[in-house]
Amino acid sequence: MPLQTMEGIVILRAISNGRDCLSLLSALFQGFTVLSIDTSATLVSVTVEAQDQVGLCPGCGYESRSVHSSYVRRLRDLPILGRPVLILAKVRRFRCQNSSCSRTTFAEPLGNLALAHAQRTKRLTAQLLSLILTTSSRSATRLAHQMGIQTSPRTLLRTVDRSVRSATAPRALGIDDFAFRRGRTYGTVFCDLESGRPVDIILGRSTEAVSNWLKERPGVEIIARDRATAYAEAARQGAPAAIQVADRFHLCLCKR
């Protein structure tokens, strides 16, 4: 049974049975407590707050229970029976009590519900991505409207772009240059060395372009590259924690 239909059933029970059903709806918001549901002819609003009373500082990893302030994040979610859903998530800002940490306060993350600064839940973004990856942006927009999701072709294309850019890099990454147009223009190719597949290509082979690519995709542990200084410096700047190795192909070339 599709999740959307299940959500619809839970909501209808919640409306008819009152407060007891708020806890039932909480099952659909893992890690959160559903505080209230308001429905109108055009919108369902669900107010939630995180159950965890402890914040983990992203700067130093220290736990904190000291709440500095709170605010409300507004997130669009999957529609219920064709009716748009707005999540009002109460977010606490904790004080970091580690005197050597550069952060004085930090906001609690919303876990599986939404990314930082996002205006949509992860599940709504996933739904939009699955629509646009199977059809054109215009058709995907039409389908989304029929499902109760307000969007536009431009927004959908931005969603795809952001999703590709925010993807994490492979653990073991190979970086090499290649030539367009008989050597007049160069690009850089990034490969996942564990799967053996290319993950991206960019125009240019400058230190800045490659280090920016790495900064946007944290998590690289090993970088295999040629012996040119541009890629070595890019790796130092973009992924300072990664181990750099000169790949066997380029070492063999240099021995000739």
Residues lying near Zn ion in the complex (CB under 5 A) are found at 57, 59-60, 96, 98, 101, 103
Nearer to Zn ion, 103 or 122 (CB): 103
* Long-range contacts formed by 128-134: CB under 8 A, 24+ apart: 128/156, 128/159, 129/159, 129/160, 129/163, 131/156, 132/156, 132/157, 132/159, 132/160, 133/160
To Zn ion, the closest distance from the beta carbon of 59 in angstroms equals 4
C-alpha span between 204 and 187 (Å, rounded): 4
Nearer to Zn ion, 58 or 82 (CB): 58
CB atoms within 10 A of CB 137: 18
Nearer to Zn ion, 96 or 140 (CB): 96
C-alpha span between 124 and 159 (Å, rounded): 11
To Zn ion, the closest distance from the beta carbon of 57 in angstroms equals 3
To Zn ion, the closest distance from the beta carbon of 61 in angstroms equals 7
C-alpha span between 46 and 61 (Å, rounded): 31
To Zn ion, the closest distance from the beta carbon of 103 in angstroms equals 5
Nearer to Zn ion, 99 or 146 (CB): 99
